[in-house]
């Protein structure tokens, strides 16, 4: 590809990603706030890191440390909004679409730039993209990169197996420190590399060792950070032990979880799911048995690690969108084969017309299809987060009591003082006990809680309810309540619990 064409492609991908993210993610400047509780916990921990807090030890949350490092970078861009997260999501979308184009190029469809906005539309306007800023979304470039490495090995393309194994290990190491359940695709890609290595060079042990070395290299910055901060025990006890044994998701058994994943995929990611399934029978017809075996194995292994552990959430199927570019490539090859010798010559300018039309369609249809856009109609003044922040006026500590971080810390410009700064989905009795201790000891000056009812589920001794406001939260409606410590109540000195 010439430098000029490469520059045009890069610019088009950047514009496509920007338009898609501007509409589809609640982190966009078009939204008053990303009200998703998970996104707020990530950003709260990231903001805390910039103020000397250490994840797990000082702020209890169970996602991977690399996710918090990324949100610390986002908070560095903007400590008072989701602008930095929007930049992060846009960059991830750019990388995903660039890799999608690269994969299509491997299959002889790299000149179809107009397909990229349609690919973005299918993935990011789906219901599985239910707020924006999920670990599933941010890992798509990493998992797609892994799939491409395995694909090149399967296709027998030029390249050193050792280099591929090392790079795959780096990607795997990065993903492991974000979310453990995305490892299935790496097993498939590593198997492809080892099979190619054995067939071509017979250096199985060397490639296996290089994969492990790559994973270790990606882990070094994470381990050093926690080692320097004397928090290695917190890292392993929370991220590994608590995630494996104390995570609060429902578990109905293996068969139930598989059925759950299947239903969530077809319901919340319908179009991408159909594209992926369409590619499975086309692969052996258009690219041979080896690619078919690799594609099928990668899909099944990824599905198993994403869904088989416990009950699913709506955003889980987004991890499977990594296979949409392969499905799109195979569908394009099928159409190309059907039309061979039948199509008339297409003028050169038609490519630009198709790209412009696809980009416009991406923008319009994203707005029509994304279920996030309901939040655009609100101003900041309409949200309880900013209404409460005005009442607090930057004074006094805050506790997000009894539910996952609702964005009140961000709106108030506050870094939590409490380790258990909110409730999450972990089955951790000490979390409940600690929050009760904070409240009974009158440590926070303000408490925010929520309820599906117009009245709070409980009153807090020594506190007065000073404000309440309701707001739609996706397909639910909650009432939020702000309590303030009475002047005659004794405020206790703070200590980490």
Residue by residue, what is the 3-state secondary structure of 400-467? Answer: ECCCCCCCHHHHHCCCCCCCCCCCCCECCHHHHHHHHHHHHCCCCCEEEEEECCCCCCCCCCCEEEEE
Confidence of residue 248 (pLDDT cuts 50, 70, 90): low
Contacts of 449 (CB under 8 A, 6+ apart): 401, 402, 403, 456, 457, 458, 480, 481, 483
- pLDDT for position 108: 86
pLDDT of residue 344: 55
Question: Looking at the structure, do residues 112 and 229 belong to the same domain, yes or no?
Answer: yes
Range of the domain at 414: 378-485
> Does residue 358 share a domain with residue 221?
yes
User: To the nearest whole number, what is the mean pLDDT of the chain?
Assistant: 92
User: Is residue 457 domain-shared with residue 317, that is, in the same domain?
Assistant: no
pLDDT tens digits for range 390-431: 999 888 899 999 999 999 999 999 999 999 999 988 878 899
Q: How far is CA 153 from CA 125, 139, 195, 323, 451, in A?
A: 32, 22, 8, 17, 53
Can you read off the two tokens belonging to residue 334? 């099928």
Q: Which of 63, 110, 179, 69 is closest to 426 using CA atoms?
A: 63
pLDDT at position 495 is 37
Same domain? For 111 and 258 the reply is yes
- Within a domain: 493: no
Give the pLDDT band of residue 251 (cuts 50, 70, 90).
Answer: low
Among the three residues 373, 396, 415, which one is the final residue of a domain in this structure? 373
User: What distances in angstroms separate CA 302 from CA 130, 146, 182, 187, one per listed residue?
Assistant: 20, 12, 7, 9
CA-to-CA separations, 446 to 336, 412, 460, in angstroms, rounded: 63, 11, 11
Q: Answer with the one of 356, 373, 390 that is the final residue of a domain.
A: 373
* pLDDT over 50 at 494, yes or no: no
What's residue 345's pLDDT? 57
For a pLDDT cut of 90, what percent of the chain falls above it? 79
Task: Based on the fold, state whether residues 335 and 455 are members of the same structural domain.
Answer: no
CA diameter of the chain: 86
Query: Is 56 within the bounds of a domain?
Result: no
pLDDT at residue 340 greater than cutoff 90: no
Residue 41 lies in a domain: no
Pairing status of strand 446-451 against strand 398-400: parallel
Q: For the residues 379-385, what does the mean pLDDT come to?
A: 95
Give the model's pLDDT for residue 197: 82
- Other CB atoms within 10 A of residue 92 CB: 20
List pLDDT tens digits, range 158-205.
888 999 999 999 999 999 999 999 999 999 999 999 998 877 666 888
pLDDT at 29 over 80: yes
Residue 149 domain flag? yes
CA 314: distance to chain centroid? Answer: 12
Average pLDDT over residues 245-266: 81
**What confidence score (pLDDT) does residue 310 get?**
72
- Tell me: do 158 and 253 sit in the same domain: yes
Q: Tell whether 313 and 369 lie within a shared domain.
A: yes
Task: Answer yes or no: is 233 within a domain.
Answer: yes
Q: Which residues are CB-contacts of 434 (< 8 A; sequence separation ≥ 6)?
A: 418, 419, 420, 497
Number of domains in the chain: 2
Q: Which pTM does this prediction carry?
A: 0.94
Residues 369 and 385 both lie in one domain:
no
Do 305 and 413 fall within a single domain? no
Q: How far apart are CA 8 and CA 213, in angstroms?
A: 36
- DSSP code per residue over 115-171: HHHHHHHHHHTSTTS-SS--HHHHTHHHHHHHHHHHHHHHHT-SS-HHHHHHHHHHH
Q: Cite the DSSP H helix spans in 25-139.
A: 37-50, 65-77, 83-106, 115-124, 135-138
User: CA 434 to CA 243: how far, in whole Å?
Assistant: 19
Q: For residue 47, is it within any domain?
A: no
Residue 392 lies in a domain: yes
Question: Taking 90 as the threshold, does the pLDDT of residue 342 lie above it?
Answer: no
What are the phi and psi torsion angles at 35 (to 5°)? -90, 5
Distance CA 485, CA 392 (A): 11
Does the structure show a pLDDT above 70 at 250? no
Report residue 235 as tokens.
């890292």
- The per-residue pLDDT for range 439-473, each reduced to its tens digit, is 999 999 999 999 999 999 999 999 999 999 999 98
Do 352 and 316 lie in one domain? The reply is yes
Q: Are residues 97 and 208 in the same domain?
A: yes
Of 338, 373, 408, the last residue of a domain is 373
Q: What is the 8-class DSSP label of residue 479? A: E
Q: By the 8 A CB rule, do 355 and 12 touch?
A: yes
Q: Are residues 297 and 219 in the same domain?
A: yes
Residue 71, in any domain of the structure: no
The Cα 162–Cα 175 span in angstroms is: 20
Residue 275 has pLDDT above 90, yes or no: yes
């Amino acid at each position: 590809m010439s430098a000029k064409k490469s520059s045009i492609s890069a610019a088009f991908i950047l514009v496509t990603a920007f338009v898609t993210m501007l509409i589809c993610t609640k982190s966009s400047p078009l939204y008053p706030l990303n009200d998703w509780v998970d996104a707020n916990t990530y950003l709260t921990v990231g903001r805390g890191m910039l103020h000397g807090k250490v994840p797990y030890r000082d702020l209890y949350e169970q996602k991977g440390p690399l996710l918090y490092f990324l949100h610390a970078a986002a908070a560095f861009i903007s400590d008072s909004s989701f602008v930095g997260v929007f930049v992060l999501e846009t960059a991830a979308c750019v990388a995903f679409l660039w890799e999608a184009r690269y994969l299509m190029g491997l299959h002889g469809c790299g000149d179809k730039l107009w397909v990229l906005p349609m690919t973005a539309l299918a993935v990011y306007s789906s219901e599985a993209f239910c707020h924006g800023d999920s670990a599933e979304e941010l890992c798509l470039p990493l998992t797609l990169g892994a799939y491409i490495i395995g694909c090149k090995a399967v296709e027998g393309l030029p390249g050193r197996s050792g280099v591929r194994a090392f790079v795959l290990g780096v990607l795997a190491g990065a993903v492991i420190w974000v979310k453990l359940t995305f490892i299935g695709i790496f097993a498939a890609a590593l198997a492809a590399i080892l099979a190619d290595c054995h067939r071509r060079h017979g250096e199985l042990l060397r490639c296996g060792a290089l994969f492990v070395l790559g994973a270790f290299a990606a882990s070094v910055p994470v381990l050093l950070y926690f080692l320097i901060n004397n928090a290695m025990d917190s890292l392993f006890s929370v991220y590994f032990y608590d995630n494996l044994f104390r995570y609060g998701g429902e578990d109905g058994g293996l068969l139930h979880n598989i059925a759950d994943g299947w239903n969530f995929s077809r319901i919340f990611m319908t179009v991408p799911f159909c594209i992926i399934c369409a590619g499975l029978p086309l692969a052996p017809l258009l690219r041979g048995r080896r690619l078919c075996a690799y594609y099928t194995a990668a899909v099944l292994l990824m599905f198993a690690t994403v869904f088989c552990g416990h009950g699913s959430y709506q955003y889980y199927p987004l991890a499977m969108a990594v296979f949409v570019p392969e499905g799109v490539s195979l569908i394009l090859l099928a159409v190309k084969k059907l039309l061979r010798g039948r199509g008339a010559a297409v003028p050169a300018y038609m490519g630009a017309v198709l790209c412009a039309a696809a980009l416009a369609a991406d923008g319009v249809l994203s707005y029509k299809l994304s279920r996030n856009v309901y939040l655009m109609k609100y101003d900041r003044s309409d949200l309880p987060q900013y209404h409460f922040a005005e009442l607090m006026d930057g004074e006094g500590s805050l506790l997000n009591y009894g539910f996952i971080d609702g964005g009140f810390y961000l709106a108030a410009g506050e870094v939590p003082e409490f380790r258990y700064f909110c409730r999450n989905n972990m089955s951790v009795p000490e979390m409940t006990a600690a929050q009760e201790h904070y409240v009974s000891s009158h440590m926070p000056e303000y408490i925010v809680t929520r309820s599906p009812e117009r009245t709070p589920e409980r009153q807090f001794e020594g506190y007065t309810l000073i404000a309440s406001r309701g707001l739609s939260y996706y397909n639910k409606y909650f009432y939020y309540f702000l309590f303030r410590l009475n002047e005659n109540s004794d405020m206790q000195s703070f200590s980490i619990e």
